[in-house]
Amino acid sequence: MELRSKSGLALAVVVLTGLAAYPAHAAGNLVQDGGFELSDPSAPANTRDNFAAVTSFDGGFWTVGQGVVGIDTTNKFVLTGKKSLFLTDGSGLNAVTQTLSTVVGQVYTISFDANADSANGVSVLFGGIPVAGAPTTIAQNGFPGAFTTYTATATANSASTVLTLEGFSHFAPTTANQTVEIDNVSVAAVPEASTIASLGLLLASGLGGVLVTARKKAKSAA
Q: What is the pTM of this model?
A: 0.75
- Shared domain check, 140 and 37: yes
CATH number at residue 165: 2.60.120.260
- Shared domain check, 114 and 43: yes
- Shared domain check, 200 and 182: no
Number of H helices, E strands in the chain: 2, 12
- Shared domain check, 43 and 151: yes
Q: What is the pLDDT of residues 90-114, one digit of tens each?
A: 667 899 999 999 999 999 999 999 9
Residue 1 in any domain: the answer is no
Q: Quote the number of domains for the chain.
A: 2
d(CA 222, CA 219): 5
- Shared domain check, 134 and 109: yes
- Shared domain check, 59 and 19: no
Q: What is the pLDDT of residues 28-85, one digit of tens each?
A: 999 999 999 999 999 999 999 999 999 999 999 999 999 989 999 999 999 999 999 9
Asked if residues 157 and 120 have their Cβ atoms less than 8 Å apart, the reply is: no
pLDDT band at 190 (very low <50, low <70, confident <90, very high): very high
Residue 173 in any domain: the answer is yes
Please tell me the predicted confidence (pLDDT) of residue 178.
62
Q: Which domain holds residue 209?
A: 6-23+195-221
- Shared domain check, 145 and 48: yes
- Shared domain check, 140 and 73: yes
Please tell me the predicted confidence (pLDDT) of residue 91.
67
